[in-house]
Structure 1
Amino acid sequence: MSDVPKQPLSPTLRELGERIRARRTELGWSQEHAAQQCGVHWTYMGQVERGQRSARVENLLKLSTGLQTTPGKLLDGLPRPE
C-alpha cells in the first residue's frame, strides 16, 4: 500500500472540498458530525473535502442543507472544469 496521499481529481473539486471543509470548521463540527447532519457517510464527506470524489446534485443539496448554507455559496465562482 502506498503512503502517497491521493490528489484531488481537479482544481474544481479541490476548491469545492475546501469550501465544504471551511464551512464545517466554521460550525465547529467534526467530519463525523457534519456527515451525520448531511445524511452521508463520514468517509464520503472526507473524500469530498479532499476533492477525491465528485458529488452528485442530490448530494450537493444534502451537503449544503446539512451545513446550513446554500448550494450557491458552495458552487459560485468555482474554477471551470477543463
Structure 2
Amino acid sequence: MAKTADILENFGQRVRSLRTAKGLSQEDFAHECQLDRTYMGGIERGERNVALRNIERIANALGISIAELMKGL
C-alpha cells in the first residue's frame, strides 16, 4: 500500500500554495492572519495541528471559505 501524505502536511502545502499564489511572504501572511511567523512556518511544514479558529483566520486572510481552503485534502 502506498503511503499517503499526512493531513497536516497536505494542509501546510495547501496554505503555502495559496499564500504564494497571492504573492504574500510568510511574514506578511502571518501578520494578516494575526499569527506568529514561526507558527505559520510550522503550519506550512506540517508540524502544527491547527486549531479551527486559526483555520478560519487563514481562510479569511486568503479571502476564501474554510471549505475552499480544505478542498482536496
- Work out whether the TM-score is over 0.5: yes
Range of TM-score over shorter length:
0.7 to 0.9
Paired letter, 1:28:
G
> Which of these two proteins has the greater Rg computed from alpha carbons?
1
Corresponding position of 1:25? 20
Give me the TM-score of the superposition, normalised by structure 2.
Answer: 0.87
Give me the TM-score of the superposition, normalised by structure 1.
Answer: 0.78
Corresponding position of 2:8? 13
Residue correspondences, number: 69
- Measured on the aligned residues, the alpha-carbon RMSD in Å equals 1.2
Which portions of structure 1, spanning 4 or more consecutive aligned residues, are displaced by more than 6 angstroms?
Answer: none
Corresponding position of 1:66? 61
Corresponding position of 1:75? 70
Structure 1 unaligned spans of 5+? 1-9
Segment drifting more, 68-77 vs 41-50: 68-77
Paired letter, 2:42:
Q
Query: Displacement of 1:58 after TM fit?
Result: 0.4
Q: What percent identity do the matched residue pairs reach?
A: 36
